[in-house]
Structure 1
């Protein structure tokens, strides 16, 4: 899967970077949901002044999405015997 990043200045002028944004095809069933979640996430990051300069969108999705949907989106595979 391809990922992209987004860099912008927040409300108080700090440079902020959002990484691990999945790139989905036009025919993906998750495209609209990811767009809405990304817009919501960027709005919340833009308004909040914090010392954190790099945010992970993938970690945010892990918190807000249902686990079966997250697994299907990122094709998470478990390794057998901790290999």
Structure 2
């Protein structure tokens, strides 16, 4: 799974970085849900500025998704012998 990050400045000038955003194909059944949740996450960060400047989208999604779906979407492949 590929992940991307997003970095921007909010209205107060605070630099905010969001990491662990999954890159999904438009045909993926989770594409719309991830897009909508990311937008709502960004809006909530803009409405309630906090002291932190780096946020994990993966940690944000953990309580919001069913565990089997979360595990399927965010699972990392483990390679044998570090290959």
Unaligned runs of 5+ in 2: 78-83
Question: TM-score, normalized by length of structure 1?
Answer: 0.85
TM-score by length of 2: 0.85
Q: Does 1:11 align with 2:11?
A: yes
* Matches of 2:3 and 2:16, distance apart in 1: 17
| Structure 1 runs, 4 residues or longer, greater than 2 Å off | none
Structure 1: where are the runs of 5+ without partners?
78-83
Residue 20 of structure 2 aligns to a residue in which SS? strand
Calculate the aligned-residue CA RMSD, in Å.
1.4
Secondary structure of the residue that 2:16 maps to in structure 1? strand
- Alpha-carbon distance in structure 2 between the residues aligned to 1:52 and 1:60: 14
Verify the 8 A CA contact 2:58 2:74 in the aligned structure 1. Answer: no
